[in-house]
């Protein structure tokens, strides 16, 4: 059996030692409060990240819609000189 060990990530005994140290430093009563506040902070961070992603997606969709509208305007402006020339030739033929 091959056990993959990644340097820098604590294993079983290290995690137990960290939990014991946390209990000694903060006390058993404060640890649930700290965990709850940490969970709420992570939740708020995720909500903020989702809002930013949604705004970026909306901006991206808005840019693509504006791009297609600009393309239509460019095509229309390219057609205008042709229409002017056609009206000039019809006027000169009269």
How do residues 37-89 score in pLDDT, each as one tens digit? 999 999 999 999 999 999 999 998 888 776 665 555 555 555 555 555 555 55
Residue 77, CA distances (Å) to 51, 66, 70, 83 in order: 38, 16, 10, 10
- pLDDT value of residue 14: 87
Supply 88's token pair. 């000039």
Domain layout of the chain by residue ranges? 36-78
Residue 42 has a CB neighbour count (10 Å cut-off) of: 10
Residue 65, CA distances (Å) to 18, 55, 68, 79 in order: 53, 15, 5, 21
C-beta of residue 57 within 8 angstroms of C-beta of residue 49: no
The arithmetic mean of pLDDT across residues 30-39, rounded, is 89
Claim: this prediction has a pTM higher than 0.85? no
């Amino acid at each position: 059996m091959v056990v993959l060990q990644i340097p820098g990530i604590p294993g079983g005994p290290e995690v137990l030692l960290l939990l014991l140290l946390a209990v000694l430093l903060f006390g058993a009563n404060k640890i649930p409060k700290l965990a709850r506040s940490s969970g709420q902070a992570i939740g708020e961070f995720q909500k903020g990240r989702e809002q930013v992603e949604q705004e970026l997606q909306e901006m991206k969709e808005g840019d693509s819609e504006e791009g297609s509208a600009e393309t239509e305007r460019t095509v229309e402006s390219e057609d205008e000189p042709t229409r002017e020339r056609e009206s000039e030739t019809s006027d000169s033929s009269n």
